Amino acid sequence: MRVSFTKMHGLGNDFVVLDAREASLPDMTGAMARALADRRTGIGCDQVIVLEPSESADFRMRIFNSDGSEVGACGNASRAVAILHGEAARVETAGGAIAVEPRDGCAAVDMGLPRFGWEAIPLAYAMDTGAMPVGWGELENPMAVNVGNPHVVFFVEDANAVDLAALGSGIENDPLFPERINVNVASLAGPDHLALRVWERGAGLTRACGTGACATAVAAIRKRLVTSPVTISLPGGDLVIEWDGGGSGDGAGPIRMTGPASEAFRGSFEWDDFA
Ligand X SMILES: N[C@@H](CCC[C@H](N)C(=O)O)C(=O)O
* 114 closest CA partner among 142, 146, 144, 143: 146
Tell me the number of residues near ligand X by CB under 6 A.
Answer: 19
Q: Indicate if 214 belongs to the active site.
A: no
Catalytic: which of 45, 74, 106, 214? 74
Binding-site member from 28, 35, 45, 47 for ligand X (CB under 6 A): 47
The answer to whether the annotation marks 101 as part of a ligand binding site is no
Nearer to ligand X, 211 or 216 (CB): 211
Nearer to ligand X, 47 or 216 (CB): 47
Using the Cα atoms of residue 203, residue 205, residue 208 and residue 213 in order, give the sign of their dihedral.
positive
Site string for ligand X, 172-211 (x = CB under 6 A): ----------x-----------------xxxx--x--xxx
CB atoms within 10 A of CB 47: 24
Positions of E strands within the chain? 2-10, 13-19, 47-52, 59-65, 70-71, 89-93, 96-103, 106-110, 135-136, 139-140, 143-146, 150-155, 182-190, 193-200, 204-205, 230-234, 237-242, 256-260, 262-270
95 is in an annotated binding site: no
Q: Is 149 annotated as a binding residue?
A: yes
DSSP, res 26: P
The phi, psi pair for 212, rounded to 5°, reads: -60, -40
Q: Give the span between the Cα atoms of 72 and 88, in whole angstroms.
A: 20
Q: Which is nearer to ligand X, 13 or 216 (CB)?
A: 13
Considering only 36, 71, 80, 234, the residue that binds ligand X (CB under 6 A) is 71
Q: Which residue in 18, 50, 61, 74 binds ligand X (CB under 6 A)?
A: 74
Shortest spacing between CB 36 and ligand X, in angstroms: 15
Nearer to ligand X, 248 or 255 (CB): 255
CA distance readout (Å), 7 to 35, 46, 99, 243: 15, 11, 22, 30
Does the annotation mark 74 as catalytic? Answer: yes
Report the 3 state secondary structure along 27-61.
Answer: CCCHHHHHHHHCHHHCCCCCEEEEEECCCCCCEEE
Q: Which stretch binds ligand X (CB under 6 A): 35-43, 73-81, 130-138, 244-252?
A: 73-81
- The per-residue b/e assignment along 113-129, b for 16 or more CB within 10 angstroms, e otherwise, is bbbbebeebbbeeeeeb
Q: Taking CB under 6 A as the rule, does residue 149 contact ligand X?
A: yes
CB of 203 to ligand X, least distance (A): 5
The annotation status of 173 as a binding-site residue, yes or no, is: no
Distance (Å, whole) CA 123 – CA 129: 9
Of the residues 6, 8, 9, 13, which one makes contact with ligand X according to CB under 6 A? 13
| 141 marked among binding-site residues | no
Site for ligand X in 224-253 (CB under 6 A): none
Write out the residues near ligand X by the rule CB under 6 A. 13, 46-47, 63, 65, 71, 74-76, 149, 182, 200-203, 206, 209-211
Catalytic residues: 74, 209
Extract the annotated binding site for substrate: 13, 47, 65, 75-76, 149, 182, 200-201, 210-211
